[in-house]
């Protein structure tokens, strides 16, 4: 039985638990097995990374990663092991930080990404965030969205992902490629252009990503050229909408001084100090 068949037989929903108050949760030890991690020490390292991401997103670690110690038998004796009662959001963060080489991890990323969209901030909650907090929140959305987008694009026949990616940017940025945007922003070599965008510019790219994803889902047959053209058309449609509404074109928006990685380092220092 291959991993896809195993996944169908025992899905992430199958290992979901419901507590006495009707709240859903997953046990970390069970999730470890589903994702393909044989040793707890490696999986616990993934959990630690997920907990850092949880804090950086201004979410409470204890409410999402509840410590759940267990007593297990080891031969004739017993020992206490650490487990966690994970929220759906915690599972989502774990699969985002897990090893993508495991096929079940990719399946989990899609599953929990779709489910956790329900947990996005309300408009009122978002309005109370600072600009840096908005950037962190929206940058995470672009990362999550791109993972799903590229997975769907692959299913639709895309092999040249540089061309596919640049098609979207060309539509949105009036012909500019990712390299053109990086040069205009004065980025260092291999620095991610999305890490040097303000919240408004990130918002335009989120719209590009999610709408392309929706249209590719409707594409009936795998065809790389069709998928690439779709990405360009969506990018251009987003640009046309901004122009029609009298908004600032994305290439004319200011580039923030600090990158997302610098902001994350600042936030991490706050947590650890």
For residue 244, the SS3 value is helix
Per the CB < 8 A criterion, the answer to whether 224 and 158 are in contact is: yes
Least confident of 56-65, 189-198, 203-212, 247-256: 56-65
Per the CB < 8 A criterion, the answer to whether 202 and 142 are in contact is: yes
Most confident of 111-115, 172-176, 242-246: 172-176
Q: How confident is the model at residue 239 (pLDDT cuts 50, 70, 90)?
A: very high
Q: How confident is the model at residue 201 (pLDDT cuts 50, 70, 90)?
A: very high
Higher local confidence (pLDDT), 79 or 200: 200
- pLDDT value for 121: 61
Q: List pLDDT tens digits, range 26-75.
A: 999 999 998 989 999 999 999 999 999 888 877 888 889 999 888 877 77
Q: List pLDDT tens digits, range 111-150.
A: 676 555 545 566 666 777 889 888 988 998 898 899 999 9
Mean pLDDT of the chain: 86
Which of 56, 20, 50 shows the shortest CA–CA distance to 35? 50
For the chain, the structural domain boundaries read 1-111, 120-273
CA torsion sign, 85 to 91 to 96 to 102?
positive
- pLDDT value for 207: 93
Name residue 18's beta-bridge partners: 24
pTM for the model stands at 0.58
Higher local confidence (pLDDT), 16 or 57: 16
Least confident of 1-5, 137-141, 211-215: 1-5
- pLDDT value for 271: 45
Alpha carbon distances (Å) from 38 to 24, 43, 44, 85, 100: 25, 8, 11, 19, 15
Alpha carbon distances (Å) from 212 to 4, 94, 150: 26, 26, 10
- pLDDT value for 58: 74
Which of 58, 70, 65 shows the shortest CA–CA distance to 87? 65
């Amino acid at each position: 039985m291959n991993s896809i068949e195993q996944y169908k037989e025992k899905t992430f929903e199958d290992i979901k638990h419901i507590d006495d108050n009707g709240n859903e949760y997953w046990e970390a030890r069970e999730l470890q097995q589903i994702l393909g991690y044989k040793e707890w020490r490696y999986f616990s390292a993934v959990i630690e990374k997920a907990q850092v991401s949880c804090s950086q997103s201004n979410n409470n670690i204890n409410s999402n990663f509840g410590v759940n110690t267990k007593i297990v038998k080891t031969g004739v004796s017993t020992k206490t092991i650490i487990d966690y009662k994970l929220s759906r959001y915690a599972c989502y963060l774990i699969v985002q930080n897990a090893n993508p080489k495991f096929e079940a991890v990719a399946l989990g990323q899609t599953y929990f990404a779709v489910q956790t969209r329900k947990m996005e901030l309300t408009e009122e909650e978002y309005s109370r965030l600072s600009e840096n907090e908005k950037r962190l929140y929206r940058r995470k959305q672009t990362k999550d969205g791109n993972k799903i987008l590229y997975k769907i694009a692959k299913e639709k026949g895309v092999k040249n992902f540089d061309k596919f990616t640049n098609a979207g940017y060309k539509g949105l940025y009036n012909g500019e490629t990712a390299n053109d945007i990086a040069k205009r922003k004065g980025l260092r070599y291999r620095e991610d252009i999305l890490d040097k965008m303000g919240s408004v510019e990130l918002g335009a790219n989120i719209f590009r990503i999610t709408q392309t994803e929706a249209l590719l889902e409707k594409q009936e047959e795998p065809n790389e050229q069709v998928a690439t053209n779709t990405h360009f058309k969506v990018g251009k449609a987003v640009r046309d909408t901004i122009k029609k509404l009298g908004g600032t074109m994305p290439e004319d928006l200011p580039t923030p001084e600090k990158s997302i990685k610098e902001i994350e380092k600042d936030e991490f220092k706050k947590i650890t100090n």
